[in-house]
Structure 1
């Protein structure tokens, strides 16, 4: 893979159960991660989409699992879970508009 891997690349590779070493597939996986981060930013999760907060990580991995492969029987379920988590994060006062998140 020529470009720099996202910090969640290794976790995403495990999440989609990929053990294949293939530059083109790795690039596709990395692009899905970047697409997930961009989608989260569109929902007002500006600063948090660039971090590896556990809830953001979960959202990114759900997005990746929903969009990975053409014959994924669980794609719809993962997409629904991603949308639900994204919606909750986007209305949370702790996540919306980059407000600091505290545990």
Structure 2
């Protein structure tokens, strides 16, 4: 795994109920967090963590965690539900000028 874990790593680990340390699983979890951030960025949403030391908004944090929960594990019976919740939150954020990229916002 890369030496640097995303700042949401510990929250994501709790969210997926992972209680043990495994370098490969930790790497996969960190990659999912980064993928969630990339997906939000591609969708036009701000990712403050890439541009400053500010904390993510609670809604961006929640979106990242929902993405991770939707994509974690092969036999996840709740994957579809978490994926739908992620997409619903992402869609709501995308109509808010507070979260959309623009001249006043930087990535």
TM-score (norm 1): 0.89
Aligned to 1:11: 11
Stretches of structure 1 that go unaligned for 5 or more consecutive residues are none
The verdict on how the C-alpha distance between 1:53 and 1:35 changes in structure 2, with shifts beyond 3 A counting, is same
Stretches (4+) displaced over 6 A: none
* Alignment size in residue pairs: 100
Aligned to 1:38: 38
CA distance in 2, matches of 1:48, 1:4: 17
TM-score (norm 2): 0.86
Residue 70 (structure 2) pairs with residue 70 (structure 1):
no
Q: What is the root-mean-square deviation in Å for CA atoms of aligned residues? A: 1.6
Equivalent pair of 1:37/1:49 in contact (CA under 8 Å) = no
Aligned to 1:97: 101
Higher helix share: 1
Stretches of structure 2 that go unaligned for 5 or more consecutive residues are none
